[in-house]
Amino acid sequence: MTCINNNNSLSKYYLHFAKGNKKELSIVSRKFNKKKCGKLNNNYDKLFFNFLLIVRVEELSLDYNKNTELKLKYTFAQRMENMKFKKLENVINNLCYEENINLKTLSALCCLFSKTMYYHSQNVFVMLNETEQKDGEKIYLVKKDSSITYIKEEKQLELKETSFEIQSLDKIFYSITHYRVDELKKIGLVLGLNTDGLKKNVYEEISQHLSNAIFIKN
């Protein structure tokens, strides 16, 4: 979903869900080490938090909570107001009024901050946003557990070639009349599904698999 137009850890508090960003994680770790250890409140949007590790690491501290999170979400939503992005109103509603962001909103955030990011789970691949790759530009991969990691371009291409790619999060699968039986069976094999049975059954199994694959655990 391309935008139109335009090992140090975080510390024991974040190790269980923040991965991959060594430079930024070490900065936050040093920041935390200056403070007295306390118990971190885990009641917040993990996917949004992990995105902040990439774009706004300086906002993170042991004082981070739902109120801090909501203020940042409102700030980002205001910045999105004039951005050209399909179904932007739905994105802003999800960002400001729902507990956790979804992949569509993450895609818009990647567009806002010009980050290249993909999603992969259960042999399903989604391009969230692509930017022109410059030297040193990072490629990120989102996983079903809300973690975000760096990957090399070769790995990204491998995942894309060996998975079923969803072309749009607005319409993850076409209607049954769009596909021939042999096309559905080919897709089913890529997804690792049983392709025996009637066309209707195969189609329904694929549709359910795709819906499950893009549901983020937060």
Residue 140 structural domain: 22-213
**Please, what are the averages of pLDDT over each run of 10 residues along the chain (218 residues)?**
43 39 46 48 88 93 90 97 94 96 97 97 97 84 96 96 96 96 96 93 96 86
| Domain assignment of residue 8, yes or no | no
| Domain assignment of residue 76, yes or no | yes
Q: What is the pLDDT of residue 22?
A: 44
* Cα end-to-end span (Å), the chain: 22
| Domain assignment of residue 218, yes or no | no
Q: What is the pLDDT of residue 61?
A: 87
| Domain assignment of residue 114, yes or no | yes
CB contact at 8 A, 54 and 30: no
* Number of compact structural domains in the chain: 1
Q: What is the pLDDT of residue 63?
A: 85
Please choose, from the candidates 176, 151, 156, 144, the residue with its C-alpha nearest in 3D space to the C-alpha of residue 46.
144
Q: Where are the alpha helices (DSSP H) in 81-198?
A: 88-97, 103-112, 153-161, 181-191
| Domain assignment of residue 94, yes or no | yes
Q: What is the pLDDT of residue 27?
A: 45
| Domain assignment of residue 12, yes or no | no
SS3 state at 83? coil
| Domain assignment of residue 17, yes or no | no
Q: What is the pLDDT of residue 14?
A: 40
Q: What is the pLDDT of residue 43?
A: 80
| Domain assignment of residue 56, yes or no | yes
Q: What is the pLDDT of residue 3?
A: 58
Question: In angstroms, rounded to a whole number, what is the distance separating the alpha carbons of residues 201 and 169?
Answer: 23
Q: What is the pLDDT of residue 167?
A: 94
Q: What is the pLDDT of residue 24?
A: 45
